[in-house]
């Protein structure tokens, strides 16, 4: 979907590193992460975007796409206190989707049968989304994102099936595929909902 993402890397957190963080807010987190962890390659020149910091129209469009993407994959992890992206003035570097596909955490009989339409209960996590809070109160054009959604098609799923490990093919994979496919099938209604959310 044309996002700038850093290369994934394996990070070995050792006790010497944890000791360096004594007195830092991240000391306990690092202490709980001893051993091998998933991480991203460091990229120079990117820094956190402050909540009320002005951005260019180009960056605003990227954040609009990022908001739409979070809603597409039910990502409740891009919060005001944890944006999970960095910014260099012109571009956005996106990372960390550990709570993507949030619908998987719901009991099957409680899941939204029309995921392209948002329920009142979805507002609990949507209201905490960093991009939602930065963008809300305005009307936006989601046509550029709508054009990108067509890439999630049969060829996309065929490619996915050739590159992910065999053990990932379980009921959750099927649920994710069905959910995203239904979102793409109802893309006009989905982008209409995004417009409604941000007004």
Between the alpha carbon of residue 136 and those of residues 21, 29, 69, 126, the distances in Å are 37, 32, 16, 11
- In this predicted structure, what is the pLDDT of residue 43? 92
Residue 111: is its pLDDT beyond 90? yes
Q: How are beta strands 35-40 and 8-13 bridged, if at all? A: antiparallel
CA distance 161 to 168: 10
Strand runs labelled E in the chain:
8-13, 35-40, 85-87, 92-94
Read off the pLDDT of residues 60-84 as tens digits, 9 standing for 90 and up: 999 999 999 999 999 999 999 999 9
Report the pLDDT averaged over residues 23-32: 94
Encode pLDDT of 131-180 as tens digits.
999 999 999 999 999 999 999 999 999 999 999 999 988 999 999 999 99
pLDDT score for 152: 95
pLDDT confidence of residue 155: 96
Q: How many whole angstroms separate alpha carbon 87 and alpha carbon 2?
A: 15
Helix and strand numbers (H, E) in the chain are: 9, 4
- What's the mean per-residue pLDDT of the chain? 93
Task: Give SS3 for 100.
Answer: coil
Residue, of 85 and 2, whose pLDDT is higher: 85
Residue 50 has pLDDT above 90, yes or no: no
Residue 51 has pLDDT above 80, yes or no: no
Could you give the C-alpha distances from 182 to 115, 145, 168, in angstroms and in order? Answer: 8, 16, 21
Residue 92 has pLDDT above 90, yes or no: yes
- Six-digit token string for 134: 């930065």
Residue 101 scores a pLDDT above 90: yes
Identify which of 50, 45, 15, 43 has the alpha carbon closest to the alpha carbon of residue 30: 15
Confidence class for position 99, pLDDT limits 50, 70, 90: confident
Rounded Cα distance, 66 and 61, in Å: 9
Question: What pLDDT is recorded for position 20?
Answer: 95
User: Average of pLDDT values for 32-58?
Assistant: 91
């Amino acid at each position: 979907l044309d996002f700038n993402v850093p290369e994934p890397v394996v990070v070995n957190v050792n006790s010497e590193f944890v000791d360096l963080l004594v007195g830092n807010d991240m000391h306990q987190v690092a202490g709980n992460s001893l051993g091998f962890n998933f991480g991203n390659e460091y990229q120079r020149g990117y820094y956190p975007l402050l909540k009320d910091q002005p951005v260019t129209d180009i960056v605003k469009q990227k954040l609009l796409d990022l908001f739409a993407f979070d809603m597409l994959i039910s990502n409740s992890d891009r919060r005001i206190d944890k944006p999970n992206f960095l910014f260099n003035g012109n571009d956005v570097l996106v990372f960390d989707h550990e709570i993507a596909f949030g619908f998987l955490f719901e009991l099957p009989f409680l899941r939204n049968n029309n995921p392209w339409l948002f329920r009142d209960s979805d507002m609990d996590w949507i209201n905490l989304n960093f991009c939602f809070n930065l963008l809300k109160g305005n009307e936006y054009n989601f046509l550029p994102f709508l054009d990108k959604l067509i890439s999630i098609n049969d060829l996309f799923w065929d490619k996915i099936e050739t590159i992910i490990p065999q053990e990932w093919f379980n009921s959750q994979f099927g649920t994710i595929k069905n959910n995203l496919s239904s979102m793409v099938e109802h893309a006009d209604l989905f982008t209409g909902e995004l417009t409604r959310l941000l007004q």
